[in-house]
């Protein structure tokens, strides 16, 4: 029998060596797969990992791609640390985008910068409400938040689809399912970095995402609220003994992660699309779950994890375009990368133990 046994002390060199090894194994397996399928392996790997970083504007685009992932995963980290499993960030993102869209479309003549603030607030409210539903059902009726939040995601997907096809459709859009374009005041402008100028599509949502991650880290590690969240996740009984409320924590993390997912939705639309359409997100709400775990549930690490995952996605796009590698193959490659990183993460903290028979407990090989 094979068992995973938690390591008492994680040797320092492992934390560096294992991720490097994971990436190395991924590269080798990827090269193998590309070779089998008849693509030049080295060129494919170049397109995946080097090409997306080869020009300054592409680095800007990398941050743009990582922006929603970082924001959403920060919220999800709060949930997962509290042992609350919000799988529905995708739906909360959509609701946030719709809330922001409603504000933008209601004031088509607006010119004030207040519009974007109002949109952000409404996006966070809408996302928080969508997150509050599974939270409330869990607190009141002990329903499973995984199922409810996931089902609400599908409701959200169809809700936005219907909205842009019927009530909010732009009559001038030649029958396309699109809303009117947002007024300029409702768009997030590109950033101009001092001395560098514009960097691809780098926009003002990116610094917001970094602030969210840093703020989330600070709250989680230094505040009593963050302590409550970790306590409820690690030892709910001790949390009740301390006098904290499990229901309160559950509602708080569900609404917070909903609000952040909603904010990510608003930023995504206002920075990159400029109107509502059936397809708003490219699965950011689901990918952010991977980012959260890749970051070992640490918001600061979510910045790096978000960038790694974004790189894999952008590299996949690049490989599709320049080498005509089918989308499914790039998907497989991304899957291997994430699998290797997470497996390496597990093996950093656990060791494999072989047990000869079921009754021989405690026999361990170093």
Question: What's the residue count for the chain?
Answer: 366
- Residue from 231, 267, 288, 291 touching another protein (CB under 8 A): that is 231
Note whether 3 binds another protein by CB under 8 A. no
- Residue from 145, 185, 230, 246 touching another protein (CB under 8 A): that is 230
Note whether 243 binds another protein by CB under 8 A. yes
- Measured CA to CA, the distance from residue 128 to residue 261 in angstroms comes to 8
109 class by beta-carbon count within 10 Å (0-12 exposed, 13-18 middle, 19+ buried): exposed
Q: Whole-number minimum distance, CB 13 to another protein, in Å?
A: 19
Q: Phi and psi at residue 350, in whole multiples of 5°? A: -125, 155
Q: Whole-number minimum distance, CB 298 to another protein, in Å?
A: 15
- Segment contacting another protein (CB under 8 A): 106-114, 125-133, 177-185, 227-235? 227-235
Do 266 and 99 touch, CB atoms closer than 8 A? yes
Q: Whole-number minimum distance, CB 235 to another protein, in Å?
A: 4
- Residue from 55, 222, 296, 327 touching another protein (CB under 8 A): that is 222
Q: Whole-number minimum distance, CB 25 to another protein, in Å?
A: 28
- Segment contacting another protein (CB under 8 A): 67-75, 155-163, 222-230, 315-323? 222-230
Number of other CB atoms surrounding residue 111 within 10 Å:
10
- Measured CA to CA, the distance from residue 230 to residue 119 in angstroms comes to 31
Q: Whole-number minimum distance, CB 218 to another protein, in Å?
A: 9
User: Following DSSP, what letter does each residue of 303-330 receive, concatenated?
Assistant: HHHHHHHHHHHHHHHHHHHHH---HHHH
Query: What does the DSSP 8-state code read for residue 188?
Result: P
Cβ distance to another protein smaller for residue 176 or 248: 248
Q: Whole-number minimum distance, CB 351 to another protein, in Å?
A: 10
Do 220 and 226 touch, CB atoms closer than 8 A? yes
Q: Phi and psi at residue 130, in whole multiples of 5°? A: -65, -35
Do 25 and 340 touch, CB atoms closer than 8 A? yes
Helix (H, G, I), strand (E, B) or coil at 4: strand
Q: Whole-number minimum distance, CB 74 to another protein, in Å?
A: 18
Q: Whole-number minimum distance, CB 281 to another protein, in Å?
A: 33
- Segment contacting another protein (CB under 8 A): 129-137, 181-189, 216-224, 275-283? 216-224
Size of the site for another protein (CB under 8 A): 25
- Measured CA to CA, the distance from residue 309 to residue 37 in angstroms comes to 24
Q: Using CB under 8 A, which residues numbered 323 to 362 contact another protein? A: 357, 359-362
Cβ distance to another protein smaller for residue 219 or 339: 219
Note whether 296 binds another protein by CB under 8 A. no
Note whether 140 binds another protein by CB under 8 A. no
- Measured CA to CA, the distance from residue 245 to residue 232 in angstroms comes to 9
CA–centroid distance for 25 within its chain: 25
Do 87 and 261 touch, CB atoms closer than 8 A? no
Note whether 227 binds another protein by CB under 8 A. yes
204 class by beta-carbon count within 10 Å (0-12 exposed, 13-18 middle, 19+ buried): middle
- Measured CA to CA, the distance from residue 352 to residue 256 in angstroms comes to 37
Q: Whole-number minimum distance, CB 139 to another protein, in Å?
A: 16
Q: Using CB under 8 A, which residues numbered 173 to 212 contact another protein? A: none
- Segment contacting another protein (CB under 8 A): 45-53, 82-90, 197-205, 237-245? 237-245
Over the window 4 to 33, marking each residue x when it contacts another protein by CB under 8 A and - when it does not, the resulting string is: ----x-------------------------
Cβ distance to another protein smaller for residue 55 or 363: 363
- The residues that touch another protein, with contacts defined as CB under 8 A, are 8, 222-225, 227, 230-231, 234-235, 237-238, 240-244, 357, 359-364, 366
């Amino acid at each position: 029998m094979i068992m995973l046994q938690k390591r008492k002390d994680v040797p320092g060199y492992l934390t560096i060596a294992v991720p490097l090894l994971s990436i190395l194994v991924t590269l080798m397996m990827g090269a193998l797969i590309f070779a089998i399928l008849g693509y030049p392996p080295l060129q494919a790997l170049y397109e995946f990992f080097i090409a997306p970083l080869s020009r300054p504007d592409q680095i800007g685009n990398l941050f743009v791609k990582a922006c929603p992932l970082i924001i959403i995963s920060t919220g999800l980290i709060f949930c997962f640390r509290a042992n609350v499993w919000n799988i529905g960030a995708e739906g909360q993102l959509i609701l946030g985008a719709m809330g922001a869209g409603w504000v933008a479309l209601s004031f088509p003549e607006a010119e004030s910068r207040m519009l974007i603030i109002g949109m952000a607030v409404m996006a966070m409210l809408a996302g928080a409400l969508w997150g509050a539903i599974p939270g409330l059902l869990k607190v009141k009726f002990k329903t499973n938040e995984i199922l409810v939040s996931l089902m609400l995601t599908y409701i959200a997907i169809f809700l936005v689809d219907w909205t842009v096809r019927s009530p909010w459709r732009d009559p001038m859009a030649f029958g396309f399912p699109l809303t009117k374009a947002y007024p300029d005041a409702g768009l997030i402008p590109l950033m101009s970095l001092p001395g560098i100028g514009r960097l691809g599509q780098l926009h003002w949502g990116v610094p917001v995402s970094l602030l969210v991650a840093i703020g989330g880290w600070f709250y989680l590690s230094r505040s009593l609220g963050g302590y409550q969240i970790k306590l409820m996740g690690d030892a709910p009984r001790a949390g009740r003994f301390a006098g904290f409320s499990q229901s309160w924590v559950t509602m708080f993390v569900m609404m917070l992660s909903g609000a952040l997912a909603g904010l990510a939705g608003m930023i995504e639309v206002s920075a990159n699309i400029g109107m509502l359409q059936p397809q708003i997100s490219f699965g950011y709400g689901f990918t952010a779950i991977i980012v959260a775990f890749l970051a070992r549930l640490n918001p600061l690490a979510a910045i790096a994890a978000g960038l790694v995952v974004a790189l894999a996605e952008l590299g996949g796009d690049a490989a599709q375009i320049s080498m005509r590698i089918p989308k499914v193959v790039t998907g497989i490659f991304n899957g291997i990368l994430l699998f290797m990183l997470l497996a390496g993460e597990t093996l950093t903290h656990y060791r494999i133990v072989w047990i000869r028979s079921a009754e021989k407990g405690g026999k361990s090989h170093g």
